[in-house]
């Protein structure tokens, strides 16, 4: 294959990867921004989204229903975890890390015990193959990219235009001041945690027809989300989006043109470099 | 500060007393201890340590290794056990993790005090566990498929009498691939020991017989997306040779289909790329007309012998290689028979060697008896087919099968002879001291 088509494939892979990654990482960034906690179980919400999508689409026979149910179920799991665990330890940063590590293992093992160790596929709701002269590409992947993009815009609008978005931004800026202005901080916390989990669950559900649902799939999602969130600046949603694109595109281009291992090296190096030169990340706030 | 310190002291003293009490009570009760003591004397059950991938990326294989082992043990016990002793399986999860694998071996030998250890599949776990078994001088009988046993890099206590190794499989099928599919081959393989065996031995056998390797494409074992690897397949490739393992296999095959479409080269895969995966899964239409290596045909052919049918029935697998309870639960049919056959080899070696209890003398007799075996006849104990055993390599050899995907099923098109898979031996374990 010559350079032109090679580059086209690289850009396609990069764009799809970047958009899905942005949606996955957005939840982690939101939770950190609003609640100031690091959710290590974030990747498991991604995995749960995929598993629920498999269950629903095989029993109800409709992937679209699965796409709606997955974030609701996972959001409910997140609310339960928030009420039963995080709230009880007062959202204390170190304790929440340990608690969410525990949550990670509980979710993973429960899925292994019930759903099993298999990687199970779901038929894509619309499937067509785009036949370029040099290679073919899955049409569904482009739909995934479009859906992820639309959800990102929707989240952006919700955060900047609705009262809930205003509450979240207020809590993020100054929790005590927000409380003094009658923002129901407790409820905002729970909502942020549920919305964060729900967003990543949608990403997980969208990816099932491409990647299959498997109980260990959350680990990679978690790792890449951390890379993106650290690179973009903890708590900055704009940073998360930009970083997801940088990582996604560089991953696509470097892995197609050179090697996938080199792409991972580049991403990790980028994180190291940003941390060394600009500790708060590309768009991080001062003192964050 | 001092107050909390005081409290800690109190709590720990109370805990100490409680723990002591429980221990004293436990020791006075007849429990596993007494059973074990009986077993140590050569009476009571024969205890087999089963190292199994219950979690981690090997969990699908582990689940079916588990079921096959349970079925074989049930049959053995129904027929009077091994040397008149019932068989008891002590299973431990190795997490498909090399470090944990070595710990499990240690635990079997020192804590559970089992008679033998057997079981696990993934080559990195076996390679990490084998040295510990050698140090502890306990027979470690693997069902792992890699060339690591026959290569001589492990030790005298490690055997593979139930499943053939990658080098033998490749040696047997390479001539057929070159003759029927084409000479210019590109290899896609997982980037660790098992994949490297494919890379090294297929390349060696193929180039020795006039084939050419066009490209070698290693894939990291944790990879989840594969589209980016396919541009590296050279356009003049005649045959794409793929072997993948782990949860990403279905994605791999699907993305290969999306990439090549109808302009695909000939494709030859190892069924490892689809173990535990339903051939009717969405996205696999593309595999129609491609070829696979199998060890044991997943789909029952018309006229299959009675022992194959009864093996399926006992393990709980239907004629399509899936669980009889859940047709979506597809087995790892070309690997798990290895557990079944291994258990019957252990039975034969124990009975012929007069093995009674763990210890240097009995283990010596067991190891030397096993090394003296030469062949296993096809039948209820060896349903996959007849086998030749090479004692100096600690490795078994058998027939290999090439199947074509036809109407979303595997149909056998070629079966090799045992001799086709045999290669000049490089190792001789029998010269190592016990």
**Which of B59, B222, B227 faces A13 most closely, judged by CB atoms?**
B227
Q: Mind telling me how many Å the CA of A257 is from chain B's nearest CA?
A: 8
Q: Mind telling me how many Å the CA of B327 is from chain A's nearest CA?
A: 13
Average pLDDT value for residue range A13-21: 91
Question: Cα(B75)–Cα(B345) distance, rounded to whole angstroms?
Answer: 14
Is any Cβ of chain B less than 8 angstroms from the Cβ of A125? no
pLDDT digits (tens, 9 = 90+) for A33-85: 888 899 999 999 999 999 999 999 999 888 999 999 999 999 999 999 999 99
B328 in the same domain as B183: yes
B325 in the same domain as B179: yes
**Which of A131, A215, A260 faces B261 most closely, judged by CB atoms?**
A131
| A1 or A31, greater pLDDT | A31
Report pLDDT for B27: 45
User: How many Cα atoms within 13 Å fall on the side-chain side of residue A274?
Assistant: 23
Report pLDDT for A281: 79
Instruction: Answer whether A120 sits within 8 Å of B62, measured CB to CB.
Output: no
Instruction: Answer whether A13 sits within 8 Å of B225, measured CB to CB.
Output: yes
Question: Cα(A271)–Cα(A19) distance, rounded to whole angstroms?
Answer: 19
Average pLDDT value for residue range B265-279: 90
B278 in the same domain as B171: yes
In CATH, what number does A3-126+133-277 get?
Answer: 1.10.3470
Q: Which residues of A touch B223 (CB under 8 A)?
A: 260
Q: Which residues of B touch A217 (CB under 8 A)?
A: 224, 247
Phi/psi of residue B120, nearest 5 degrees: -75, 165
The share of chain B scoring above pLDDT 70, in percent, equals: 90
Is any Cβ of chain B less than 8 angstroms from the Cβ of A268? no
Residue B309 within a domain: no
Average pLDDT value for residue range A106-132: 87
Q: Which residues of B touch A256 (CB under 8 A)?
A: 228, 231
Report pLDDT for B217: 92
Average pLDDT value for residue range B314-338: 95
Whether residue B26 is predicted with pLDDT greater than 50 in this model: the reply is no
CB proximity list for A157: less than 8 A, separation 6 or greater: none
Question: Cα(B28)–Cα(B142) distance, rounded to whole angstroms?
Answer: 37
Report pLDDT for B37: 47
Whether residue B222 is predicted with pLDDT greater than 80 in this model: the reply is no
Between residues 17 and 46 of chain A, which touch chain B (CB distance below 8 Å)?
A: 17
Between residues 210 and 239 of chain A, which touch chain B (CB distance below 8 Å)?
A: 210-212, 214-217, 220
ipTM value for the complex: 0.77
Report pLDDT for B282: 79
Question: Cα(B420)–Cα(B187) distance, rounded to whole angstroms?
Answer: 21
**Best mutation site among B56, B222, B283 for testing chain A: the one with the most A CBs within 10 Å?**
B283
Question: Cα(B329)–Cα(B250) distance, rounded to whole angstroms?
Answer: 15
pLDDT tier at A1, thresholds 50, 70, 90: low
B297 in the same domain as B227: yes
Instruction: Work out the mean pLDDT of chain B and round it to a whole number.
Output: 89
Report pLDDT for B422: 95
Whether residue B161 is predicted with pLDDT greater than 90 in this model: the reply is yes
pLDDT tier at B2, thresholds 50, 70, 90: very low
Chain center to CA of B211: 30
Average pLDDT value for residue range B274-279: 88
| Residue in chain A nearest B255 by alpha carbon | A138
Report pLDDT for A173: 86
Q: Which residues of B202-235 are buried (b: 16+ CB within 10 A; e: fewer)?
A: bbbbbeeeebebbebbbbebebbbbbbbbbebee
B270 in the same domain as B408: yes
Report pLDDT for A264: 82
Q: Which residues of A touch B322 (CB under 8 A)?
A: none
Whether residue B24 is predicted with pLDDT greater than 80 in this model: the reply is no
Q: Which residues of B touch A252 (CB under 8 A)?
A: 228
Report pLDDT for B3: 39
Residue B89 within a domain: yes
Report pLDDT for B254: 85
Instruction: Answer whether B224 sits within 8 Å of A217, measured CB to CB.
Output: yes
Q: Which residues of A touch B329 (CB under 8 A)?
A: 116, 118
Task: Estimate the crossing angle of helix A139-161 against helix A185-211, to 10 degrees.
Answer: 170
Report pLDDT for B302: 86
Q: Which residues of B touch A6 (CB under 8 A)?
A: 231
Residue B10 within a domain: yes
B212 in the same domain as B275: yes
Q: Mind telling me how many Å the CA of A134 is from chain B's nearest CA?
A: 9
pLDDT digits (tens, 9 = 90+) for B119-139: 899 999 999 999 999 999 999
Q: In this complex, how many residue pairs, one in chain A and one in chain B, have their CB atoms less than 8 Å apart?
A: 91
B173 in the same domain as B63: no
**Which of A109, A127, A212 faces B250 most closely, judged by CB atoms?**
A212
Q: Mind telling me how many Å the CA of B80 is from chain A's nearest CA?
A: 34
User: What DSSP letter does each residue of A174-227 carry, written as one string?
Assistant: -HHHHHHTT--HHHHHHHHHHHHHHHHHHHHHHHHHHH-B-TTTHHHHHHHHHH
B175 in the same domain as B295: yes
For residue A75, the SS3 value is helix
Average pLDDT value for residue range B160-174: 96
Q: Is B32 exposed, middle or buried (0-12, 13-18, 19+ CB in 10 A)?
A: exposed
pLDDT digits (tens, 9 = 90+) for B382-418: 999 999 999 999 999 999 999 999 999 999 999 999 9
Residue B98 within a domain: yes
Average pLDDT value for residue range A145-164: 92
Question: Cα(B164)–Cα(B94) distance, rounded to whole angstroms?
Answer: 22
Q: Mind telling me how many Å the CA of A195 is from chain B's nearest CA?
A: 26
Question: Cα(B126)–Cα(B149) distance, rounded to whole angstroms?
Answer: 9
> What is the torsion angle, in degrees rounded to the nearest 10, for the CA atoms of residue B233, residue B239, residue B244 and residue B249?
80
pLDDT tier at A288, thresholds 50, 70, 90: very low
Instruction: Work out the mean pLDDT of chain A and round it to a whole number.
Output: 89
**Which of A1, A122, A217 faces B231 most closely, judged by CB atoms?**
A1
B126 in the same domain as B231: no
Residue B19 within a domain: yes
Instruction: Answer whether A122 sits within 8 Å of B227, measured CB to CB.
Output: no
Q: Is B55 exposed, middle or buried (0-12, 13-18, 19+ CB in 10 A)?
A: buried
Domain-by-domain residue ranges, chain A? 3-126+133-277
Q: Which residues of A touch B67 (CB under 8 A)?
A: none
Question: Cα(A249)–Cα(A11) distance, rounded to whole angstroms?
Answer: 7
Flag the least confident range among A59-68, A181-190, A213-222, B30-39: B30-39
Whether residue B423 is predicted with pLDDT greater than 90 in this model: the reply is yes
Instruction: Answer whether B229 sits within 8 Å of A260, measured CB to CB.
Output: yes
Instruction: Answer whether A118 sits within 8 Å of B251, measured CB to CB.
Output: no
Whether residue B8 is predicted with pLDDT greater than 50 in this model: the reply is no
Q: Which residues of A touch B224 (CB under 8 A)?
A: 211, 217, 220
Average pLDDT value for residue range A85-114: 94
Q: Could you list the residue range(s) of the whole structural domain that residue B347 is in?
A: 36-161+336-397+423-431
Is any Cβ of chain B less than 8 angstroms from the Cβ of A4? no
Instruction: Answer whether B247 sits within 8 Å of A214, measured CB to CB.
Output: yes
Nearest CA to B292 among B237, B334, B263?
Answer: B334
Average pLDDT value for residue range A248-262: 83
Average pLDDT value for residue range A84-96: 92
Query: Model pTM?
Result: 0.83
Average pLDDT value for residue range B225-247: 87
Flag the least confident range among A3-7, A225-229, B76-80, B267-271: A3-7
Report pLDDT for B15: 54
Residues of B with CB under 8 A from a CB of A: 55-57, 59-60, 62-63, 219-220, 222-225, 227-231, 235, 247-251, 254-255, 258-261, 276-277, 281-283, 328-330
Instruction: Answer whether B60 sits within 8 Å of A255, measured CB to CB.
Output: no
Instruction: Answer whether B258 sits within 8 Å of A210, measured CB to CB.
Output: no
Report pLDDT for B257: 86
Q: Mind telling me how many Å the CA of A46 is from chain B's nearest CA?
A: 14
Residue B57 within a domain: yes
Report pLDDT for B18: 54
pLDDT digits (tens, 9 = 90+) for A258-273: 877 888 888 888 888 8
Is any Cβ of chain B less than 8 angstroms from the Cβ of A179? no
In this structure, what CATH number is given to the domain that contains residue B87? 3.40.50.2300
| Residue in chain A nearest B221 by alpha carbon | A261
DSSP letter, residue A129: E
Is any Cβ of chain B less than 8 angstroms from the Cβ of A132? no
**Best mutation site among A46, A55, A117 for testing chain B: the one with the most B CBs within 10 Å?**
A117
What is the total count of domains within chain B?
3
pLDDT digits (tens, 9 = 90+) for B87-113: 999 999 999 999 999 999 999 999 999
Report pLDDT for A134: 82
Classify strands B401-406 and B291-294 as parallel, antiparallel or unpaired: antiparallel
Is any Cβ of chain B less than 8 angstroms from the Cβ of A47? no
């Amino acid at each position: 294959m010559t350079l032109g088509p090679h580059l086209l494939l690289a850009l396609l892979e990069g764009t799809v990867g970047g958009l899905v990654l942005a949606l996955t990482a957005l939840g982690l960034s939101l939770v950190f921004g609003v609640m100031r906690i690091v959710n290590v179980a974030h990747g498991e919400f991604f995995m749960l989204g995929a598993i629920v999508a498999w269950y629903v689409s095989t029993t109800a026979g409709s992937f679209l229903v699965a796409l709606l149910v997955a974030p609701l179920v996972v959001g409910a799991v997140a609310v339960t975890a928030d009420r039963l665990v995080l709230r009880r330890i007062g959202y204390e940063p170190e304790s929440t890390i340990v608690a969410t590590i525990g949550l990670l293992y509980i979710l993973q093992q429960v899925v292994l015990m019930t759903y099993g160790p298999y990687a199970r596929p779901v038929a894509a709701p619309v499937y067509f193959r785009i036949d370029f002269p040099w290679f073919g590409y899955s049409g569904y992947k482009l739909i995934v990219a479009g859906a992820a993009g639309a959800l990102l815009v929707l989240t952006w609008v919700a955060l900047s235009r609705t009262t809930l978005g205003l509450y979240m931004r207020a809590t993020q800026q100054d929790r005590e001041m927000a409380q003094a202005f009658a923002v129901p901080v407790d409820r905002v916390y729970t909502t942020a945690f549920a919305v964060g989990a729900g967003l990543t669950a949608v990403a997980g559900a969208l990816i099932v027809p491409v990647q299959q649902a498997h109980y260990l799939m959350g680990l990679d999602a978690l790792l890449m989300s951390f890379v993106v969130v650290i690179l973009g600046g903890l708590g900055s949603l704009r940073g998360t989006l930009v970083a997801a694109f940088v990582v996604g595109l560089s991953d696509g281009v470097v892995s197609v043109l050179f090697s996938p291992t080199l792409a991972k090296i580049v991403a990790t190096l980028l994180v190291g470099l940003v941390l060394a030169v600009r500790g708060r990340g590309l768009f991080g706030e001062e003192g964050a | 500060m001092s107050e909390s310190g005081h409290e800690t002291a109190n709590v720990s003293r109370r805990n100490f007393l409680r723990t002591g009490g429980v221990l004293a009570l436990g020791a006075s009760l007849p429990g596993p201890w007494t059973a074990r003591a009986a077993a140590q004397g050569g009476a009571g059950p024969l205890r087999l340590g089963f190292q199994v991938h219950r979690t981690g990326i090997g969990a699908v294989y582990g689940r079916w290794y588990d079921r096959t082992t349970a079925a074989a043990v049930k049959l053995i016990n129904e027929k009077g056990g091994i040397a008149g002793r019932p068989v008891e399986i002590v299973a431990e999860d190795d997490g498909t993790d090399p470090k944990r694998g070595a710990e499990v071996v240690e635990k079997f030998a020192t804590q559970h005090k089992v008679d033998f250890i057997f079981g696990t599949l993934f080559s990195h776990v076996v390679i990490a566990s084998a040295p510990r078994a050698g140090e502890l001088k306990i027979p470690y009988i693997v069902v792992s498929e890699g060339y690591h046993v026959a290569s001589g890099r492990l030790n005298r206590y490690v055997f593979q009498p139930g499943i053939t190794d990658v080098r033998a499989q490749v040696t047997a099928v390479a001539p057929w691939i070159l003759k029927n599919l084409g000479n210019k081959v590109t290899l896609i393989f997982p980037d660790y020991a098992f994949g490297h065996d494919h890379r090294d031995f297929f390349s060696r056998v193929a180039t020795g017989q006039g084939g050419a390797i066009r490209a070698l494409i290693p894939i990291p074992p944790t990879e989840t997306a594969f589209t980016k690897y396919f541009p590296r397949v050279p356009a003049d490739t005649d045959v794409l040779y793929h072997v993948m393992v782990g949860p990403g296999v279905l994605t791999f095959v699907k993305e290969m289909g999306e990439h090549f479409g109808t302009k695909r080269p000939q494709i030859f895969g190892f069924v490892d790329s689809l173990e535990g995966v339903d051939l009717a899964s969405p996205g696999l239409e593309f595999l129609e007309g491609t070829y696979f290596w199998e060890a044991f045909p997943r789909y029952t052919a018309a006229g299959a012998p009675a022992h194959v049918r009864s093996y399926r029935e006992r393990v709980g697998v239907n004629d399509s290689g899936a669980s009889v309870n859940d047709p979506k639960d597809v087995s790892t049919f070309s690997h798990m028979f290895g557990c079944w056959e291994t258990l019957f080899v252990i039975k034969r070696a124990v009975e012929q060697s007069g093995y009674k209890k763990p210890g240097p003398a009995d283990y010596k007799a067991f190891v030397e008896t096993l090394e003296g075996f030469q062949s296993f006849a096809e039948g209820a104990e060896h349903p996959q087919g007849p086998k030749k055993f090479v004692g100096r390599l600690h490795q078994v050899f058998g027939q290999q099968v090439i199947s074509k995907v036809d109407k979303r099923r595997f149909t056998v098109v070629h079966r090799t002879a045992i001799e086709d898979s045999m290669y000049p031996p490089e190792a001789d374990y029998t010269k190592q001291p016990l």
